[in-house]
């Protein structure tokens, strides 16, 4: 009887383990798919952090750090090697902290500079993105916090499914700036970006609010634990600020509210806040494609400000001389290449003027009853360039909408009210720097609402894009 029970137990154990082992082997056997994506840049950053044994300056943050630092200039200014350990890209600030811990040693200076955003200043963790980023160096998975192990395991099947889809349809090799090839040895993005590419000069889907309410108490506790762990090694931790587009600040921002936010952080964190947030708020001309991503001129401003802050706390009183460039002007944009025949549906829409052309603000009563409609290229002699928030309110009959590359800005909630809309057909071919989107494109739409692209190349570009990629799983397909 005992022998029978043992055999039964072993059989049950194998039955439980085999599916997991099969999935793991499948992940190993399918070739790497994410090494050229933005997430693929994490492994070289991690390896540089752990390879430099001498005292160094480590910048820990999100994409604003990747886009906002000239590490060679900072290195020359402070006299220490620099590691740009900024990426985020839906990974979460917590993971960036966890991965940085073991590479920090005695004499190191760690600067925390996360974006001022509710998600960034929380314990948010994205399991599928973590798997993608770890493809090039699976040892990073060993440093994922134990409190995220459950999420990591449950996210594996989604990661594996997406990986297999890319394997069948084409390995992502993103066009534009969001490709891992564009990072230099320091971990800085080194890609030509001479001016601001945003339609309005700022991203209206990413308003910056310097309010203590956006910061999770648990996040503060976690950072303070991190500070204690790191400083026990003989390192020093400081808090600074990311670059911020002044036109993206919330309408209630004042000098008093900025100081109150600074004061809250200074009182709550167990590390010194070494920067004045006003020194990191810049005119829109210094930004590139988001309210936190700098262009090549903006990088110099931010690096100079950070160098001055670091030199001050390091006791260096010599005057730092760095020539600061003026904000570059944006050239006149070329009109996008459109299909030869676009239906003239301009009479069905309502508009308001916006930078670069017109924004759709609503549909006529007749159009609200339609099941299918196309966005026009022009109206009243002007290019239609954006779809505003709640533009499709009242369009409960609409099932399909076709959009052409003249649309370069989607406002959050633009389809809200189109409760039957399941097919959004996009003729855009490139995502990067060509069309902006926020996190609430599908707000108010059915669970099966899907973005359809006209070519495999377009599908791959959008699916692997820094922003559009958030809608990839079960939300993107190729038009048949």
Note down the domain range covering 430: 346-478
Final residue before a domain boundary, out of 313, 337, 372 = 313
**Could you tell me the CATH number of the domain that includes residue 132?**
3.40.50.1110
Q: Is 197 part of any domain?
A: yes
Average pLDDT, the chain: 91
The mean pLDDT of 323-328, rounded to a whole number, is 93
Do 357 and 269 sit in the same domain of this protein? no
In terms of Cα–Cα distance, which of 328, 333, 310 is closest to 405? 333
Per-residue confidence (pLDDT) for residue 324, from 0 to 100: 92
**Could you tell me the CATH number of the domain that includes residue 455?**
3.40.50.12480
pLDDT tens for 244-254 read 999 999 999 99
Q: Is 144 part of any domain?
A: yes
pLDDT tens for 451-461 read 999 998 899 88
Number of structural domains found in the chain: 2
For residue 18, pLDDT over 80 is answered with no
DSSP 211: -
Confidence of residue 336 (pLDDT cuts 50, 70, 90): confident
Q: Is 22 part of any domain?
A: no
Do 82 and 147 sit in the same domain of this protein? yes
Do 167 and 305 sit in the same domain of this protein? yes
Query: Residue 275 has which token pair?
Result: 């920067």
Per-residue confidence (pLDDT) for residue 385, from 0 to 100: 95
Q: Is 19 part of any domain?
A: no
Q: Is 328 part of any domain?
A: no
Q: Which residues pair with 171 in a beta bridge?
A: none
Q: Which residues pair with 414 in a beta bridge?
A: none
Do 88 and 163 sit in the same domain of this protein? yes
Do 150 and 296 sit in the same domain of this protein? yes
Distance CA(247)–CA(232), nearest Å, equals 40
CB 64 within 8 Å of CB 115: yes
pLDDT more than 70, % of the chain: 93
For residue 422, pLDDT over 50 is answered with yes
The mean pLDDT of 343-368, rounded to a whole number, is 95
Do 224 and 365 sit in the same domain of this protein? no
CB 160 within 8 Å of CB 26: yes
pTM of the model: 0.88
Do 386 and 270 sit in the same domain of this protein? no
Q: Is 333 part of any domain?
A: no
Do 144 and 48 sit in the same domain of this protein? yes
Q: Is 5 part of any domain?
A: no
Confidence of residue 227 (pLDDT cuts 50, 70, 90): very high
CB 282 within 8 Å of CB 64: no
Final residue before a domain boundary, out of 313, 335, 357 = 313
Do 104 and 178 sit in the same domain of this protein? yes
Q: Is 1 part of any domain?
A: no
CB-count exposure of residue 66 (10 Å: 0-12, 13-18, 19+): buried
**DSSP-derived 3-state class of residue 325:** coil
Element (H, E) at 237: strand 236-239
């Amino acid at each position: 009887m005992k022998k029978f029970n043992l055999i039964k137990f072993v059989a049950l154990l194998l039955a439980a383990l085999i599916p997991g082992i099969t999935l793991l082997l499948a992940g190993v056997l399918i070739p790497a798919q994410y090494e050229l994506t933005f997430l693929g840049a994490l492994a070289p950053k991690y390896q540089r952090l752990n390879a430099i044994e001498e005292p160094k300056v480590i910048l820990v943050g999100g994409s604003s750090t990747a886009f906002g630092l000239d590490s060679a200039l900072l290195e020359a200014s402070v006299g220490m090697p620099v590691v740009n350990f900024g990426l985020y890209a839906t990974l979460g600030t917590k993971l960036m902290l966890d991965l940085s811990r073991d590479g920090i040693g005695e004499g190191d200076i760690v600067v925390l500079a996360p974006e001022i955003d509710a998600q960034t200043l929380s314990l948010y963790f994205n399991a599928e993105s973590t798997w993608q980023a770890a493809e090039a160096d699976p040892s990073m998975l060993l440093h994922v916090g134990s409190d995220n192990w459950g999420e990591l395991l449950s996210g594996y099947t989604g990661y594996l499914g997406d990986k297999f889809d890319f394997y069948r349809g084409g390995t992502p090799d993103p066009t534009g700036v969001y490709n891992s090839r564009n990072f230099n040895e320091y971990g800085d993005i080194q890609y030509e970006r001479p001016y601001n590419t945003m339609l309005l000069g700022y991203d209206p889907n990413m308003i910056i609010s310097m309010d203590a309410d956006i910061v999770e108490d648990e996040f503060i506790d976690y950072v303070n634990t991190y500070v204690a762990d790191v400083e026990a090694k003989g390192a020093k931790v400081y808090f600074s600020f990311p670059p911020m587009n002044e036109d993206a600040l919330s309408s209630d921002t004042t000098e008093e509210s900025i100081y109150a936010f600074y004061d809250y952080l200074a009182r709550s964190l167990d590390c010194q806040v070494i920067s004045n947030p006003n020194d990191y708020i810049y005119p829109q001309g210094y930004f590139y494609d988001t309210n936190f991503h700098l262009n090549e001129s903006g990088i110099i401003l931010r690096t100079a400000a950070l160098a001055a802050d670091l030199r001050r706390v390091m006791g260096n009183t010599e005057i730092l001389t760095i020539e600061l460039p003026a904000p570059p002007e944006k050239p006149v944009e070329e009109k996008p290449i459109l299909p030869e025949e676009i239906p003239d549906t301009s009479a069905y829409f309502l508009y308001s003027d916006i930078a670069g052309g017109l924004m759709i603000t609503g549909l006529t009563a007749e159009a609200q009853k339609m099941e299918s409609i196309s966005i026009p290229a022009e109206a009243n002699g002007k290019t239609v360039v954006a779809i505003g928030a709640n533009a499709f309110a009242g369009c409960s009959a609409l099932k399909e909408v076709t959009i052409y590359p003249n649309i370069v800005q989607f406002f959050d909630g633009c389809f809200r009210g189109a409760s039957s809309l399941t097919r959004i057909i996009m003729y855009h071919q490139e995502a990067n720097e060509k069309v902006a989107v926020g996190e609430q494109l599908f707000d108010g739409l059915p669970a099966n609402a899907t973005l359809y692209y006209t070519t495999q190349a377009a599908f791959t570009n959008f699916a692997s894009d820094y922003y559009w990629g958030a809608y990839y799983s079960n939300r993107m397909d190729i038009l048949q």
